[in-house]
A and B are shown apart, each in its own frame.
Chain A
C-alpha cells in the first residue's frame, strides 16, 4: 500500500538551531518526491522535487535529500519566518498523489 509518513509531528527550534525533518515513503516505482511548505490557512507552496536516490536540492536555508526509502529536509540556521508546516508527497498508483501529515515547525526568536 502506498504510504507517506513524516516525523516528527512538531518541532520547536531556537533561531539558528539547525535540524532535519524526515519523510519516509512506501511506493512502488518512485516517480518523484515533493516537498511543500504550508502556512496556516493557506494552500501548500511548492519547494522541491527529488527524483533519484542521492539527489539533493537547496533553497536558501533548506536542503532536501533523497534515499531509497526516505527524504530529509535539512534546515540550517532557521529564522522565525521559516515557521510553517512542511509536507512531503509522492505520486502513487492510479495517478493519486499521497501527502504526509506534515511536520509543524516553530522557530523561536
Chain B
C-alpha cells in the first residue's frame, strides 16, 4: 500500500458527460501528479500541483482540469468525454516540489467511456 488513495476505482460513463476523479496524497506530501495511461501510449503526464498551486503542465486537454484543495487532496475533472478518454488515470504524490525517489503512485481509476 503506497498510502496514495484514488477514488473511484472504476467509472463507466457515456460520451459527452463529465466526471471527477479524486486523489488523496500520502500524509505530509505536498505534491500531486496526474497521469493518464492508455494501452497504446504508456504513462502520459497531465499536470502537477504543489501545495495548492499548479506547478507543471503536460499534455492535458482543455476539456480536463484539476485542482488541489487546502487539505491537499486533488481532483481531476474530465468533461465532454470522448471514447478516446477511456484509460487508467493515476495520481502520484511526493513531499518535494520536484519528482524524486519518494514519489508514490495510487492504484488508479479506470475510466471507460461508452
What residues of chain A have their CB less than 8 Å away from a CB belonging to chain B? 32, 34, 41-46, 49, 87, 89, 91, 94-102
Chain B: residues with CB nearer than 8 A to chain A? 2, 4, 33, 35, 41-45, 48, 55-58, 88, 90, 92, 97-101, 103-108, 110
**A46 lies within 8 A of B104 (CB):** yes
Is chain B's binding surface mostly helix, strand, loop or mixed? strand
Complex: A99 Cα to B110 Cα, angstroms: 19
CB–CB A41/B101 < 8 A: no
Contacts of A32 in B (CB 8 A): 100
Chain B residues with CB under 8 A of A44: 43, 90, 105
Of A34, A43, A101, which is within 8 A of B90 by CB? A43
Known: A41-B108, A41-B110, A43-B4. A99 touches B42 (CB 8 A): yes
Q: What residues on A are CB-neighbors of B48 within 8 Å?
A: 95
